[in-house]
Chains A and B, each alone.
Chain A
Amino acid sequence: MDANMIISLHNVNFYYGPSRALNDISMDFPEKQVTALIGPSGCGKSTLLRLLNRMNDLIIGTRVEGKVLFEGKDIYDGHVDPVEIRRKIGMVFQKPNPFPKTIYNNIAYGPKLTGANAGDLDALVEQSLKQAVLWDEVKDVLNKSAMNLSGGQQQRLCIARALAMKPDVLLMDEPTSALDPISTAKIEELIEELKKNYTIIIVTHNMQQAARISDSTAFFYIGNLIEYNKTEKIFTNPDVKQTEDYITGRFG
């Protein structure tokens, strides 16, 4: 029953300049499961997500305290290259952000430039698109611009693009918030499928979504981890009153 923990946080604090965005967070993310991070805007859930692949490094004046272990190694250790970390921990963003390139080149971009998985690019592109359940829709237009795809298709393309790097973990930052319900349903199905092979950590504002797709759920409030448990437990019988108030829509 107890899964292997792929990422562990030990007493993590995070600062934007002088202001603290995360307070003493300690939590473990189980391998090949879906973990949902929920909480009202500004609670630190996106900050936490972007801390896991060192995307926060891009923001000047940020600082991390504590330990973030990925497969047992601290990713904030001095001689760890964030570029290496990001190859193993992929990310899908809130708004679909394909490159203004062809569909094929969107997928091939990462593997080509990093030299990873560069064996048979055609096969890799096909495999990644199939994993993202987009292949059948785009197989005849691989050389057309990705900008011509619909929003939902673009987001699946971004997932395929991340998968082409063969990451261990996939971080998703509200991946369906810019999409219509049908596209959202497709992405959710896709996440169900992907968790067989990948660890998925997803930030969402949508309670039903968290309840539907995740195995565990963590509730954050103003930089604190309030409650972290099996999703079933969180949504039926939470231990903390604040969690209950939030998931029943009484605040947030």
Chain B
Amino acid sequence: MNESINSSMKWRYFKQTLFFGIVRLSFLIIALALGGLLLYIVINGIGVINLDFITTMPTDSMTRGGIMPAIVGTIYLTVGAILIGLPLGVASAIYLTEYAVQGRMIRIIKIGINCLAGVPSVVFGLFGLGLFVVMLKFGSSILAGSLTLGFLILPTIIGAAEEALKAVPQTFREASLALGVSKWQTIFRIVLPNALPGILTGSILGVGRAAGETAPIMFTAAAFFTAKLPESIFGEVMALPYHIYVLATAGTHIEETRPMQFGTVLVLIAVVLGIDLLAIIIRSRMRRNKRW
């Protein structure tokens, strides 16, 4: 009797150890893969990184010199995408969660938005080419590229904003409305400020995507090479992801420029991290006195 309890305990303990082991192993594989990737990029790319690399124009058919215009271009495009995607996305989410009468129509719209998130980015690129570049005659430009990227990250931002708005306690809305404050003021003064940290968290994901995508900007904004920085939002720009693509596939000196390619990847990662860090700092400042 006693023995059988003992052995069943042992068996259970063994199973527990086994499952914990599997979970630990999974984590380890992910961590190693990620760490390895980063390490590989750093080792291969760090050699070319210096002040000149990030502050000067490319020279000698882009086989020498820096990548400054691509860094500037990516920052322009990413900031542009946020300026377009964030207000539009937050406004859509406010409509969907606060105003729209929940029903079949809204469900279909929500499914549509989710599908949009899964659409390959090259489709967004072609959409941008058709609508912004050709039809609206923006040409290949910062404006067209930012709009395209803005639409690309729209589903991410809408999703995050919806969740963040829903997480604001209903009691806050009731308290405000019961004071005779209008619905719009309630949303603007109570709901939105309390949802903003959550909205930013979701937007960080969008930023990474906007900065890193190649396909959507290929037809709408990115230039193979520009001799100088763009002078207006109607100018073309170089961009880091496209620059990497060009160096790695379309140049005449693919092998020779390998270190530059790695260096550019490293800079791209740093730029994305930098923008994310900024968002995280803003978020934590906003959260400081928000507890409920």
A positions within 8 Å CB-CB of B: 53, 55, 58, 60, 83-88, 90-91, 93, 95, 97-100, 109-110, 113-114, 116, 145, 147, 158, 161-162, 165
Contacts and interface: CB of A to CB of B under 8 A. Distances in A.
A60 B102 contact: yes
A109 B176 CA distance: 9
Q: Is the interface of A mostly helix, strand, loop or mixed?
A: helix
B290 A100 contact: yes
B172 A55 contact: no
B101 interface: yes
Interface string B171-190: 11111111111100100011
Nearest to B181: A113
Contact of B175 (A85, A88, A99, A114): A99
A83 B176 CA distance: 11
Interface in B275-292: 289-292
Interface residues of B, number: 23
Nearest to A94: B171
Contacts of A100: 172, 194, 289-292
Nearest to A147: B291
Given A60-B101, A100-B291, A100-B292, A114 B181 contact: yes
Contacts of A162: 178-179
A240 B169 CA distance: 41
B49 to A, nearest CB: 44
B176 to A, nearest CB: 7
A161 B180 CA distance: 12
Given A60-B102, A84-B180, A165-B179, A97 B194 contact: no
B189 A113 contact: yes
7 contacts: A86-B178, A88-B180, A93-B175, A97-B175, A99-B172, A100-B172, A113-B181
A174 to B, nearest CB: 14
A103 B102 CA distance: 35
Given A100-B292, A109-B189, 4 more contacts: A55-B177, A91-B178, A110-B180, A116-B180
Contacts of A93: 171, 174-175, 178
A162 B180 CA distance: 10
Contacts of A83: 177, 180-182
B177 A110 contact: no
A113 B102 contact: no
Nearest to A110: B179
